Amino acid sequence: MSTAVRPHYTALDLPAIPPDRPYVLVNMVMSIDGKVVVDGTEQGLGSKTDQELMRELRVNADIVMNGAGTLRASGTSPRIGRPDLVRLRTEAGKPANPIGAVISASGDLPLDRIFFTAGDFRAVVYLAATVPEERREAVQATGRLVHVLPPEDPIRAMLRHMRQDLGAQVLLLEGGPTLNAELLGVGAVDEFFVTIGPVIVGGRDTLTAVEGERARSRDELARASLLSAVHNPETGEVYLRYRL
């Protein structure tokens, strides 16, 4: 394990980008016992250092994505939030902030949130084909790009749209656990960043980093290689980076 106090994520060394989808990073903060929420949100699990690492990861991303549940629970935006990090992006020819993205099966979204009202970043909303027309029209009325996904293989269709229509090379997923599971399910997660906070949450039904309809069998386990591990003695956190 590295003796550095914290890693630096502003300039990740990534392999070749797939032609049909972005390179996908997942970033999550969790407790020692693997829980990713306290009182319904992730707040309280990570330190200010963890939040800074989240911003650094966003420097690499063309799109920052959340599931609808995360948007409803705690709000979301792809903003970088630090002038020095914004400068790194603009000097590389990128917009100040990544594109924000959210996916919803119901179209039941809080349209008054910053994700829909802010003017300093672009955003796209991916909706299931079964979303009622009135809800789809309400989302479109916010001015955000709406893309309706086909019923067959919607996650791969979403990734193709990101790569081919939006030109995205790197997608950063920031939760929630169901969205993480959906992309893992189609083999589309390339790296997993985890901050482990020095707390224990407990609870039989408390969410973990990956949720889904069923657990994988021993033969189906998603296996990863550890790229880096850094312990922060000031916060008690451990920062892990895995490649799948």
Residue 168 has pLDDT above 70, yes or no: yes
Q: What is the pLDDT of residues 121-162, one digit of tens each?
A: 999 999 999 999 999 999 999 999 999 999 999 999 999 999
> CA–CA separation, 116 vs 104, rounded Å?
14
Domain residue extents for the chain:
23-212+223-243
Q: pLDDT class for 42, splitting at 50, 70, 90?
A: low
Encoding tokens for residue 214? Answer: 């069923």
**Max Cα-Cα span within the chain:** 55
> CA–CA separation, 129 vs 149, rounded Å?
6
Contact 32, 197 (CB under 8 A): yes
> CA–CA separation, 209 vs 206, rounded Å?
10
For position 2, what pLDDT does the model report? 66
Beta bridge partners of 126: 103, 147
Judged by DSSP in three states, 85 sits in helix
> CA–CA separation, 149 vs 152, rounded Å?
8
For position 3, what pLDDT does the model report? 64
Helix pair angle (48-60, 83-91), 10° resolution: 10
User: What is the CATH class of 23-212+223-243?
Assistant: alpha beta
Residues whose CB falls within 8 Å of the CB of residue 94, separated by 6 or more in sequence, listed in order: 62
| pTM, full prediction | 0.94
Q: What is the residue-averaged pLDDT of the chain?
A: 94
For position 176, what pLDDT does the model report? 87
> CA–CA separation, 239 vs 194, rounded Å?
6
> CA–CA separation, 86 vs 80, rounded Å?
6
For position 91, what pLDDT does the model report? 97
